[in-house]
Structure 1
Amino acid sequence: HFSPMAVIAVAVLVGSGIYLSWNYIGSMVGLVGTAYGIMLLTKIILMGGGLLLGGINALTIRNWALCGDCGQVLRRVPVFAQAEAGIGATILMAAAALTGQPPSVDVVNQQATPAEVLHVFMPKKPQLTPAPYAKMLAHATSSLDIYSQPTYLEKIQSDFNHNISGIFVILLGIGALLHHTTKMKWTRHWPLLFIPFAGFLLTFAEPTGWPLGHEGFFNTLIAPETLTHRLATVLVLFFGFFQWRLVATDFGRTNWRYALPVIYVLGGAMLLTHTHSIYADKRTYLIEASHNAIGILAIYMGAAGWVEQRLDGRERQISSSIWPICLILVGFVLLFYREL
């Protein structure tokens, strides 16, 4: 009896959302070319995933009503409902972040064109060498200055950081996919790649901060962007150790195996609410567009990982391939990242 009510509720939400969106966005350029618009698109994409899970549950219940076998309902419906709830929670967080952005109709002069947005995700030659450190630090802006704009060399360094990170993430995704699709025992150690990845982030994520820069480690933690990067480094190291224990030891049979999908979702939500500037300018938006893509993929990774850990059989087989593919896609977004 709940499904018809859910359909009506979703229809009301979609209808009111379309009306309000048109008033606040005003055009297709405003939808794809502003932070407000991209957050709305993010909500739509996440809602699509939630509706897909809800649709699977509705079909499962319908088959039960026709066949009288409640085994599938008791096994599948709670798990997909839990994954759907996780996606729903991130939609609420995205909605909260949306309120902090000026409506698209108020930043017409700072809207990016669809071609400019597409350019952000187009393949390019990765930046595989860091910027000259001495020259960069001589003219670098302080990480504590929220009004500063990065210099040319800082942009090169940012490209290097993101592109090398992309290589690490692609390798991790391939390792995870091989582990789930082959019987090669050595593939269970794929999470150990997280360790050198964390070392890379610790060294290069904050070029003006410790250990290579002149700014102290603790002094820069009051800067939101720096704190986010440091927390990301800790999370990467945690992922490596935790995931390795899950796949290589009996630890994977404990309830702790549910922790990583939750962390993936939280990490994705953190990316969706992460900002690089207090300004609603075009450059900042184009940078954050790639972060939104990564955040969406991370949330879907968490949902698929949750299903993998909670179910077996065909559902587990499919979901255990979905989240590594999402991880590989995250890697390619980072590999082709460009600081504008």
Structure 2
Amino acid sequence: MTQFLDIFGFLSVILRGFALVFEALTVGGIIFQVYAAREYAAKRAWAWVSIAAVMLAATQLCVASANAVILMGTMGLRPAEIVGADFCRATLLVITGALAVAVFARGRRGWLAVPACVSILVGSTMMSHSAARVEWRWFLMASTLLHHLAGAAWIGGFPYLLAALRQDSKGAIALRVAERFSRLAMCSVAALVMAGATLAWQYVGSIAALGGTTYGAMLIAKVVLTGVLLLLGSLNRSIVRSQQRGGGTGWLPLRRFAEAELGIGLTVLLMAASLTSTPPAIDVQADRVTAADMMQRFTPRWPRMQTPALSELSPATPLSLPQNLPGSFVPGQLTHPNTPADIAWSEYNHHWAGLVVLAIGLLALLSRRVKWARHWPLAFFGLAVFLLIRSDSEDWPLGPRGFWESFQVAEVAQHRVFVLLIVAFAIFEWAVQIHRIAARR
């Protein structure tokens, strides 16, 4: 169970991320169909809403099941005792609402799914930080619900907007739908910023906490990405106005910007899932990173080109822990501090990975002038092999742990997933560069 606890922390974030994505696609799809599409709502779009709702229910069931297994294994609770927990009630609200959306979206009266969306949003809010606060709980829960609603209406509506733009070849229907979605997006952004600022004020508390905690750092990254979304949204708004005046060049630029917004928006949702797994910055008073620490870390220096020997590193942390460990032990944390050799090993890996990415970027720029440089995505295979071998010195092929055994450690599992993502991206981008895959206009 201790080993499962370590990997559970990673899996719970992944599942929460999928839940937020499917929540946005479900609630955002209903809002788009009822408000933006209206009489032009396509049956295929309703089918996508139904599929997203089913996936939301399935994902939420997985989250609840994993939490129940953890409670039964660590605290010895029976299923009957777990059913009354807050997360079970919240899960029931989300699953019930999602299944209702799936049913109503398949019928001719999709607007009946709107009340079911309220159940989804309330249940999701009950699983947020706001439900655990002692002060201003209901105010924070209302702000969180508004934050989820606005984010779903904005980000969750992009796939359906893209489908509507592809469906209409003449542009008359697309113009009306785009105008409505543009107004919806502006209202959603205003609500999103207002609710987000309120939550940030309550969860961060100070400038020092904003820069000195994990929660604050991720919040800054989320705000930056949201700013990029706003920039792309303003460009989309100008395209819609140009189309209204009859001077536009077509919907292709809007589709491309909307695709970019969708990708960044999904990244923001996944980042929000990471935020829910991290304590609010205002609650973290000890071990904050100071301004001096950040300056020391971000001071430019030459990459580390030499790696320490394996014999200089700390011994591998055993996966099976003795029974006499103190009860406050946190699964997954190191039983010994990092040595200078451990730090040097990690910095060597990160520095060389950065140099490889820099070389790939230069080759990508060179590919516009030199034909052979178009094969630059193949360099990602070298990066993937490097990470597979070097990322974890305690595991296969360098350490004593076997390949499959090492997956019990969350950090190792994340590295292996990243290797697969790099390989998949390399294959896809290489196919694009050699014109095996072409974009459809």
Matches within 5 A, 1:59-208: 59-66=238-245, 68-72=246-250, 74-136=251-313, 139-142=315-318, 146-148=332-334, 149-179=337-367, 182-208=368-394
Matches within 5 A, 1:7-46: 7-46=186-225
Matches within 5 A, 1:218-233: 218-233=404-419
Go from structure 1 to structure 2 and tell me whether the alpha carbon gap of 1:245 and 1:6 turns closer, same or farther (over 3 Å shift): closer
Comparing both chains, which one has the higher relative contact order based on Cα–Cα distances under 8 Å and sequence gaps of 6 or more? 1
Deviations 1:183-214, CA, capped at 9 Å, x for gaps: 21121122222232222222211111111211
Tell me the distance in 1 between the aligned counterparts of 2:426 and 2:195. 43
Deviations 1:38-80, CA, capped at 9 Å, x for gaps: 12112211111111111101011112223x13543x2222222
Stretch moving more, 42-51 or 146-155: 146-155
Go from structure 1 to structure 2 and tell me whether the alpha carbon gap of 1:93 and 1:81 turns closer, same or farther (over 3 Å shift): same
Go from structure 1 to structure 2 and tell me whether the alpha carbon gap of 1:27 and 1:46 turns closer, same or farther (over 3 Å shift): same
CA RMSD of aligned residues (A): 2.2
The answer to whether the 8 A contact 1:210-1:217 is kept is yes
Go from structure 1 to structure 2 and tell me whether the alpha carbon gap of 1:128 and 1:140 turns closer, same or farther (over 3 Å shift): farther
2:228 pairs with 1:49: yes
The answer to whether the 8 A contact 1:191-1:241 is kept is yes
Go from structure 1 to structure 2 and tell me whether the alpha carbon gap of 1:231 and 1:22 turns closer, same or farther (over 3 Å shift): same
Tell me the distance in 1 between the aligned counterparts of 2:385 and 2:195. 47
Tell me the distance in 2 between the aligned counterparts of 1:196 and 1:5. 45
Name the SS for the 2:397 alignment partner.
coil
Name the SS for the 2:399 alignment partner.
coil
Stretch moving more, 46-55 or 105-114: 105-114
Tell me the distance in 2 between the aligned counterparts of 1:251 and 1:26. 52
Go from structure 1 to structure 2 and tell me whether the alpha carbon gap of 1:44 and 1:64 turns closer, same or farther (over 3 Å shift): same
Residue identity over aligned pairs, in percent, reads 36
Tell me the distance in 2 between the aligned counterparts of 1:124 and 1:146. 31
Deviations 1:198-244, CA, capped at 9 Å, x for gaps: 22222211111111211111100121110111222233333334433
In the other structure, the counterpart of 1:296 is none
Name the SS for the 1:146 alignment partner.
coil
Tell me the distance in 2 between the aligned counterparts of 1:237 and 1:6. 35
Letter in 2 for 1:244: W
In the other structure, the counterpart of 2:437 is 252
The structure number with the bigger radius of gyration is 2
Unaligned runs of 5+ in 1: 254-308, 312-340
Name the SS for the 2:333 alignment partner.
coil
Tell me the distance in 2 between the aligned counterparts of 1:143 and 1:29. 36
Stretch moving more, 99-108 or 196-205: 196-205
Deviation at 1:310, TM superposition (A): 6.5
The answer to whether the 8 A contact 2:239-2:248 is kept is no
The answer to whether the 8 A contact 1:176-1:190 is kept is yes
Tell me the distance in 1 between the aligned counterparts of 2:343 and 2:309. 12
Tell me the distance in 2 between the aligned counterparts of 1:84 and 1:4. 16
Name the SS for the 2:197 alignment partner.
helix
The answer to whether the 8 A contact 2:381-2:423 is kept is yes
Q: How many residues align?
A: 250
Tell me the distance in 1 between the aligned counterparts of 2:294 and 2:279. 19
Tell me the distance in 2 between the aligned counterparts of 1:98 and 1:132. 37
Go from structure 1 to structure 2 and tell me whether the alpha carbon gap of 1:193 and 1:58 turns closer, same or farther (over 3 Å shift): same
In the other structure, the counterpart of 1:260 is none
Go from structure 1 to structure 2 and tell me whether the alpha carbon gap of 1:93 and 1:199 turns closer, same or farther (over 3 Å shift): closer
**TM-score, with length taken from structure 1:** 0.67
The answer to whether the 8 A contact 1:143-1:208 is kept is no
Go from structure 1 to structure 2 and tell me whether the alpha carbon gap of 1:96 and 1:199 turns closer, same or farther (over 3 Å shift): closer
**TM-score, with length taken from structure 2:** 0.53
Letter in 2 for 1:44: V
Matches within 5 A, 1:226-241: 226-241=412-427
Tell me the distance in 1 between the aligned counterparts of 2:401 and 2:407. 10
The answer to whether the 8 A contact 2:307-2:344 is kept is yes
Deviation at 1:125, TM superposition (A): 2.4
Go from structure 1 to structure 2 and tell me whether the alpha carbon gap of 1:234 and 1:90 turns closer, same or farther (over 3 Å shift): closer
Go from structure 1 to structure 2 and tell me whether the alpha carbon gap of 1:246 and 1:43 turns closer, same or farther (over 3 Å shift): same
Letter in 1 for 2:346: S
The answer to whether the 8 A contact 2:226-2:268 is kept is yes
Go from structure 1 to structure 2 and tell me whether the alpha carbon gap of 1:198 and 1:12 turns closer, same or farther (over 3 Å shift): closer
Tell me the distance in 2 between the aligned counterparts of 1:53 and 1:165. 30
Deviation at 1:90, TM superposition (A): 1.9
Tell me the distance in 1 between the aligned counterparts of 2:259 and 2:350. 33
Tell me the distance in 2 between the aligned counterparts of 1:17 and 1:28. 16
